A and B are shown apart, each in its own frame.
Chain A
Amino acid sequence: MTTREAPTTAPVLHAKGLVKRYGNVTALNGADFELYPGEILAVIGDNGAGKSTLIKCISGAEIPDSGTIWLEGKEVLFKNPLEARAAGIEAVYQTLAVAPSLDIASNLFLGRERRRSGFAGSVLRMLDVGAMNDHARNRMTDLGIMTIQNMAQPVETLSGGQRQGVAVARAAAFESRVVIMDEPTAALGVKESARVLNLIRTLRDRGLPIILISHDMPHVFEVADRIHIQRLGRRGAIVTPESHTMSEAVAIMTGATQVDEHGAHDLP
């Protein structure tokens, strides 16, 4: 089960001294990062603080100029998102990356379809539609997203929250070790946001660590175990919803409150 206190175990995902420059712009200037097992780590930061560049480096969408990333203690270098995904780092993009006219089961298995056994699967590359539908149904029920009765329903007929559910279920479905969620509630109403946040907690309670990128401070403070505040290309501070209030966190984020990188707050 989850510990809400400062973790004592080894981090699942760990980065040190990440630097990424785009021409004259330094997006990351020696950023550090740790994600511990079974926690929801929120990453917040002002525009241009390097928040999305940090996530891109972790998810393989960008290659850092220098710095090191470790996944479960092993040094990794991802050249593209597929490599990161193969290693167990799943990202749920803001655009959700679903194919709207395909059905739910097809979307859950998009890009890693199950094939039939034997000749039909290996040579004809035929899909095992039945098995994929069954797995999709189990997965969706398991995560409590199961008012969707029909796995053959096209994703475009679903509501925003349900689509998010499909995208999350997909990210959590394939023995993933880390799930990165980019603004999962940005496009949703109050009720649907609450359900998606619940879904995030459900995943966390199953032991899956989650990186949550969000601008929505109430949502961050509602679900996060720890909050990584990115500022000026590096980690400004790490706070928890218990140790700091929302306005204190925002003050650190915007630079209104200066924090010593090694001193104040819960910096390791």
Chain B
Amino acid sequence: MDNTRPGATETIEPPGPPEEDTSRMTTLQRIQHALHTRATLGPAIVLLLSVIVFSIVADNFLEPRNLSLIIQQVMVIGTLAIGQTIIILTAGIDLSVGAIMVLSSIVMAKLSADAGVPGLLALLLGFVVGLLCGLVNGLLVTRIKLPPFIVTLGTLNIFFALNLFYSQSETVRGRDMASLLLWTGNAFELGGARVTYGAILMLLLFALMAFVLRWTMWGRHVYATGDDREAARLSGIRTDRVLLSVYVVAGLIYAIGAWILIGRIASASPQAGITYNLDTITAVVIGGTSLFGGRGRIIGTLFGALIVGVFRNGLQLAGIDELWQNFAVGVLVLAAVAIDQWIRRARA
């Protein structure tokens, strides 16, 4: 290279506000900077604070048994929220989460209880149902080019109707099913805590998805597609294929959520999980993932789900009326989105 040429070694000046030199920022800017560079910092702090506060106001809160109960209360929502997160990362949204989960759980349960299909096969066929539902969503989004909100609003009703049709609106009892389907509700004792296999499964799924998003090409492409789809396309990423795969993977994760739900409630009810759509979006948003796509961490979603669980559990232990639990969750959502906007504004 030609270093003697004037200008060749000249450098483009550093960015306007000195990013690396935090000493020249105000405290508020420093907080904004920290939240921007570490997306999960906010949710982690909120989770820590809420645990501290509730351990003071509610006596039994910190007992191992109660903490493990919180995990059990969030394990279904948490699992479903993994799928919701990757869809929101692509700047989409999934309203059919609950419907896909219920349909999958009813298929698993009825195949096992009524049709006498072996447990493992019933489980796998339930996974296939979730996968196919995701495929339908993905095809409608990528081929027909409908907005994800509309697609999943439509399929929400379709999948739910199929679920009512197939189940004939009847609950399948746990004792009629193969024990494998109920395995996620089994537990072992650990220092006074009751740890269910469903909770372990959820945590493993979080770890797996965190790894995939961070270290694989697919993960990188999911972020790029959500960040700026046209830029990703021009860079040679097949964004349609990425989107389709995201919906299919999400569908499979919802079916795993269905398995965990069966274990949790020891039955399969066609009416279960009606409110789960919004609960998963709540967990994702509180976890710091941006609804505009391309920004967020899967671990934030775990924190988000735990924050909601801690609030609901803590307020209940403190003897506060359930309506205030909903109030508190509402405030959390608004605060999370407001903070996200504030962080983004600083960088725009």
Contacts and interface: CB of A to CB of B under 8 A. Distances in A.
The answer on A and B forming one complex is yes
Interface of A: 81-82, 85, 91, 93, 95-102, 106, 110-113, 115, 124-127, 129, 142, 144-150, 153, 156-159, 161-162, 165, 191-192, 195-196, 198-199, 201-202, 205-206
Contacts of A101: 223, 227, 294-295
B16 interface: yes
B231 A202 contact: no
A199 B347 CA distance: 26
Interface string B1-32: 11001011111111110011000000000000
Contact of B236 (A85, A100, A192, A201): A85
B19 A153 contact: yes
Nearest to A120: B215
Nearest to B344: A156
Nearest to B231: A97
Looking at chain B's contact residues, is the secondary structure mostly helix, strand, loop, or mixed? loop
A81 B234 contact: yes
Given A144-B10, A144-B11, A205-B5, A125 B234 contact: no
Contact of A99 (B12, B19, B294): B294
Contact of B220 (A82, A96, A98, A127): A127
Given A96-B231, A111-B235, 10 more contacts: A101-B223, A115-B217, A124-B216, A125-B216, A148-B14, A157-B347, A159-B13, A162-B12, A199-B12, A202-B2
A111 B13 contact: no
A110 B237 contact: yes
Contacts of B15: 157-159, 162
B234 A97 contact: yes
Contacts of A157: 15, 19, 347
Interface in B38-94: none
B161 interface: no
A101 B217 CA distance: 16
B170 interface: no
A165 B234 contact: no
Contact of B234 (A93, A149, A158, A201): A93
Nearest to A158: B15
A125 B231 CA distance: 22
B236 A111 contact: yes
A156 B292 CA distance: 15
Contact of B1 (A125, A147, A206): A206
A102 B225 CA distance: 11
